[in-house]
């Protein structure tokens, strides 16, 4: 499966201390191949892996985590994002609320209709199931059997061959009989077909459902994506139900469908039993696709530990009055990691107004970084060395001017002064965090 393939891909990185352009390129290629093998659409797989590469190049490798594990976490995050990030619920609204099901024959519509009805009934809402599959007499019986099993009434008109009429009648019936939610099961075909499309389009138009769901068999791989696209072009559905995930489905369809039709997956179906219905959680699906279990939490813990260790180290230096330009640079890196600078500053009360017209972007740090990077190792460790001739050299080396260098020196001195005062004032923990 994908998991073992990724394992192999990550082997390239094992034993290497850092993520570099070369080892990432190889690994990313392997990841792409593994995703395509798991039924992820090629174009989608390429987009994801390009993003993964970009993301990976910017990361430091953490102390207690291998590059492979870190990359796994990056892949996991990307996949989760790709599948929509957050779980999305179906919309059940109206008097009665109407849910319309669409999809090919055999995709699992009727089974899902029963599951959804049972699910809604458990929330203490009255449900009516509607049999609109007018082509196969057995289809009505199938729904009736399910309805009996879960204790939900089934509406059907065996003599009527017009699904628009049947669904309209069903909604009237629901109003009169105090059914709050109507679930309409429709007929499918073995393949996309114009008559079927027209029929379901007409039903949708006539009854205006609050939720139109497209049901698709996850085992059908790439076909699932094409079918989803065709149905969406015609129906503009609200969400997707991915069925038969209990089989040896590779799950890749979930990724591609979301990326191609830009509609959320709302439910997954994992068996023939009425209980086998789950909400769709993008993060859980990403885990399923990656099959990686503990790696994520491991990396998250390591990340925390890394940040904590760095903070501890800096605090110690502050306490010993040894804070130097190396530490300053490392603090800048930390701040940059936290995200957009303007957003960050904007979170400080009163500041968002003040900076409204000021152009702060992440480039604001660039000159400062350039100056610090122009310093020799010794100068960074002992800022006292920086006399005026050295400062002129820094300005030249960093493409700034002497005033910018002097400003930085002044700011840095002020900072150290504050730190010294703080050290005198208190022996409690703190330092940078308290200053912030
Ligand atoms: P429809 O033609 O779209 O209404 O599809 P059905 O609901 O009749 O399902 C077609 C077949 O797939 C039936 O044999 C179902 O029992 C089976 N099925 C539906 N959903 C699932 C599922 O999540 N897992 C498995 N293993 N089988 C399913
Ligand atoms: Mg059916």
Tokens of 256: 């591609």
Do the domain assignments include residue 167? yes
Co-location of 65 and 135 in the same domain: no
Please tell me whether residues 131 and 274 are part of one structural domain: yes
**Average pLDDT of every residue of the chain:** 81
Q: Give domain status of residue 305, yes or no.
A: no
Q: How confident is the model at residue 271 (pLDDT cuts 50, 70, 90)?
A: confident
What is the number of the ligand 1 atom nearest to the C-alpha of 107? 3
Is there a domain that residue 118 lies in? yes
Instruction: Note the pLDDT of residue 54.
Output: 83
Rounded distance between C-alpha atoms, residue 294 and residue 122, angstroms: 34
Phi-psi region of 242 (alpha: psi -120 to 50; beta: other; left: phi over 0): beta
Question: Is the pLDDT at 297 greater than 60, yes or no?
Answer: no
Instruction: For residue range 75-123, list pLDDT tens digits in order.
Output: 888 888 888 888 888 999 999 999 999 999 999 999 999 999 999 999 9
Sequence-ordered strand ranges (E) for 218-276: 239-243, 265-269
User: What's the CA gap between 389 and 372, in Å, rounded?
Assistant: 16
Q: How confident is the model at residue 354 (pLDDT cuts 50, 70, 90)?
A: very low
Does residue 240 fall inside a structural domain?
A: yes
Whether 109 is in the pocket of ligand 1, judged by its Cβ within 6 Å, is yes
What does the alpha-carbon distance between residue 56 and residue 35 come to, in Å, rounded to a whole number?
A: 17
Based on the domain organization, do 111 and 248 belong to the same domain?
Answer: yes
Best CA proximity match to 48, nearest among 286, 393, 261: 286
Question: Which ligand places an atom closest to the C-alpha of 106?
Answer: 1
Average pLDDT over residues 337-356: 48
Compute the distance from residue 207 Cα to the ligand 1 centre, in Å. Answer: 26
CATH number of the domain bearing residue 343: 1.10.260.30
pLDDT at 74: 82
Of 221, 248, 280, the one marking the end of a domain is 280
Please give the pLDDT value at position 248.
64
Q: Is 107 annotated as a binding residue?
A: yes
Question: Does 110 contact ligand 1 (Cβ within 6 A)?
Answer: yes
Please report which helix (H) or strand (E) contains residue 99, including its range. strand 97-102
Q: How far, CA to CA in Å, does 375 sit from each of 284, 325, 330, 397?
A: 47, 9, 15, 9
Of the bound ligands, which one is closest to the alpha carbon of residue 274?
A: 1
Of 254 and 19, the structure prediction assigns the larger pLDDT to: 254
Q: Which residues of 155-176 are buried (b: 16+ CB within 10 A; e: fewer)?
A: bbbeeeeebbebbeebbebbee
Q: Which ligand is nearest to the CA of 104?
A: 1
Testing ligand 1's pocket by substitution, the residue of 111, 134, 146, 278 carrying the most ligand atoms inside 8 A of its CB is 111
Residue 293 — very low, low, confident or very high, per pLDDT cuts 50/70/90? Answer: very low
pLDDT exceeds cutoff 50 at 349: no
Q: Taking CA 218 as the corner, what is the angle to CA 217 and CA 223, rounded to the nearest 5 degrees? A: 80
Residue 347: the pLDDT is 45
What the block records as the tokens of 252 is 């890749």
Q: Is the CB of 108 under 6 A from ligand 1?
A: yes
Chain centroid to CA 76: 9
CATH number of 273's domain: 3.40.50.300
The pLDDT assigned to 393 comes to 95
Between CA 289 and CA 261 the distance in angstroms is: 20
Q: How far is CA 369 from the centre of its chain?
A: 32
Q: Is the predicted pLDDT of residue 436 greater than 60, yes or no?
A: no
What is the distance in A from the centroid of ligand 2 to the CA of 236? 21
| Contact status, residue 280 vs residue 268, Cβ threshold 8 Å | yes
List helix spans (H) across 58-193: 67-82, 109-121, 137-150, 163-176
From CA 323, how far away is CA 394, in angstroms rounded? 20
Report which of residues 291 and 73 the model is more confident about. 73
Is 401 part of any known ligand binding site?
no
| 146: exposed, middle or buried (Cβ count in 10 Å: 0-12, 13-18, 19+) | buried
Q: How confident is the model at residue 351 (pLDDT cuts 50, 70, 90)?
A: very low
pLDDT (tens digit per residue) in 143-169: 999 999 999 999 999 999 999 999 999
- If one compares 304 and 81, the residue with the highest pLDDT of the two is 81
Domain containing 35 — which CATH number?
1.20.120.140
C-alpha torsion sign, points 133, 139, 140, 145: negative
Measured distance CA(382)–CA(84) in Å, rounded: 49
Q: In which element (H, E) is residue 183 found?
A: strand 181-186
Distance of alpha carbon 100 from alpha carbon 93, whole angstroms: 13
Residue of the CA atom closest to atom 6 of ligand 1: 108
Q: Which atom of ligand 1 is nearest to the CA of 269?
A: 23
| 291 C-alpha to ligand 1 centroid (Å) | 25
Task: Decide if 31 contacts 52 (C-beta within 8 A).
Answer: yes
Q: What pLDDT is attached to residue 51?
A: 87
For residues 22 and 113, state if they share a domain.
no
128 and 209 together in one domain: yes
Is 350 annotated to bind a ligand? Reply is no
Is 123 inside any structural domain?
yes
The more confidently predicted of residues 69 and 397 is 397
Q: How confident is the model at residue 430 (pLDDT cuts 50, 70, 90)?
A: very low
- Do 65 and 102 share a structural domain? no
Average pLDDT of the segment spanning 349-378: 69
* pLDDT grade for 200, boundaries at 50, 70 and 90: very high
What are the structure tokens assigned to 178, written together?
A: 């105090």
Q: Is the CB of 244 under 6 A from ligand 1?
A: yes
Q: Which residue has 């260790």 as its token pair?
A: 309
Has residue 421 been placed in a domain? yes
Q: Which atom of ligand 1 approaches the CA of 104 most closely?
A: 3
Question: Same domain for 59 and 122?
Answer: no
- 107, 247: one domain: yes
Question: Any binding-site annotation on 389?
Answer: no
In tens, the pLDDT along 409-424 reads 988 887 788 777 767 7
Residue 249 is predicted with a pLDDT of: 63
* Ligand 1 neighbour 105 (Cβ under 6 A): yes
Average pLDDT over residues 187-196: 82
Q: What is the pLDDT of residues 355-366, one digit of tens each?
A: 445 555 556 678
pLDDT at 277 over 50: yes
239 DSSP β-pair partners: 213
**Distance between Cα 140 and ligand 2 center (Å):** 8
Quick one: 135 and 108 in the same domain? Answer: yes
Domain range for 379: 324-435
- C-alpha span between 381 and 375 (Å, rounded): 10
What residue's CA is closest to ligand 1, atom 26? 271
The atom number, within ligand 1, closest to the CA of 111 reads: 7
My answer on whether 104 and 65 are in the same domain is no
Say if strands 127-132 and 153-155 run parallel, antiparallel, or are unpaired.
parallel
392 appears as a binding residue in the annotation: no
**Has residue 6 got a pLDDT over 80?**
no
Q: pLDDT tier at 64 (50, 70, 90 boundaries)?
A: low
Give the pLDDT of residue 216: 94
Pocket mutation for ligand 1, best pick of 196, 217, 272, 273 (most atoms within 8 Å of C-beta): 272
In a domain, 117, yes or no: yes
ipTM exceeding 0.90?
yes
pLDDT in tens, 122-143: 999 999 999 998 888 789 999 9
Is 163 close to ligand 1, i.e. is its CB under 6 Å away?
no
- Which residue did the predictor score with more confidence, 386 or 366? 386
Q: For residue 244, how far is its CA from the centre of ligand 1 (angstroms)? A: 7
Kindly state the helix (H) or strand (E) to which residue 279 belongs, with its residue range: strand 277-279
- Domain count for the chain, please give it: 3
Same domain, 426 and 343: yes
Instruction: Say if residue 57 is in the same domain as residue 153.
Output: no
pLDDT digits (tens, 9 = 90+) for 15-56: 555 555 556 777 778 778 877 877 788 888 898 888 888 887
The answer to whether the annotation marks 397 as part of a ligand binding site is no
243 within ligand 1 shell (Cβ under 6 A) = yes
Q: Give bridge partners of residue 246 from the DSSP assignment.
A: none
């Amino acid at each position: 499966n994908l998991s073992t393939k990724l394992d192999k891909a990550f082997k390239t990185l094992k034993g290497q201390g850092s993520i570099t352009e070369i080892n990432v390129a190889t690994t990313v290629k392997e990841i792409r191949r593994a995703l395509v093998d798991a039924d992820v659409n090629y174009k989608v797989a390429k987009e994801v892996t390009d993003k993964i590469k970009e993301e990976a190049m910017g990361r430091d490798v953490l102390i207690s985590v291998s590059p492979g594990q870190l990359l796994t976490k990056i892949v996991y995050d990307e996949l989760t994002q790709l599948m929509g990030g957050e779980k999305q619920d179906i919309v059940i609204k109206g008097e009665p609320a109407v849910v319309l099901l669409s999809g090919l024959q055999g995709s699992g519509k009727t089974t899902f209709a029963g599951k959804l009805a049972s699910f809604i009934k458990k929330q203490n809402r009255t449900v009516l199931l509607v049999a609109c599959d007018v082509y196969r007499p057995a289809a009505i019986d199938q729904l009736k059997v399910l309805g009996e099993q879960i204790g939900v009434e089934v509406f059907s008109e065996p003599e009527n061959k017009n699904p628009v009429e049947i669904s309209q009648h069903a909604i009237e019936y629901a109003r009169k009989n105090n059914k709050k939610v109507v679930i309409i099961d429709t007929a499918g075909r073995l393949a996309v077909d114009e008559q079927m499309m027209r029929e379901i389009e007409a039903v949708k138009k006539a009854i205006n459902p609050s939720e139109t769901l497209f049901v698709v068999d996850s085992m059908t791989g790439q076909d699932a994506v094409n079918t989803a696209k065709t149905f969406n072009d015609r129906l503009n559905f609200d969400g997707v139900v991915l069925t038969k995930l209990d089989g040896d489905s590779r799950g890749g369809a979930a990724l591609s469908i979301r990326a191609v039709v830009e509609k959320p997956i709302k439910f997954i179906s994992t068996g023939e039993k009425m209980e086998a219905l789950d909400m769709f959680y993008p993060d859980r699906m990403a885990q399923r696709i990656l099959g990686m279990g503990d790696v994520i939490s491991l990396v998250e813990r390591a990340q925390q530990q890394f940040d904590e260790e760095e903070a501890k180290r800096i605090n110690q230096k502050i306490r010993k009055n040894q804070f130097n330009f190396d530490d300053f640079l490392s603090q800048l890196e930390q701040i940059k990691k936290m995200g957009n600078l303007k957003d960050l500053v904007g979170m400080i009360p009163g500041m968002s107004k003040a900076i409204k017209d000021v152009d702060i972007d992440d480039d604001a740090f660039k000159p400062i970084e350039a100056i610090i990077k122009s310093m020799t190792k010794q100068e960074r460790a002992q800022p006292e060395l920086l006399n005026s001739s050295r400062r002129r050299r820094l300005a030249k080396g960093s493409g700034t001017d002497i005033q910018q260098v002097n400003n930085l020196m002044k700011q840095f001195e002020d900072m150290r002064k504050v730190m010294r005062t703080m050290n005198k004032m208190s022996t409690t923990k703190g330092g940078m965090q308290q200053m912030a």
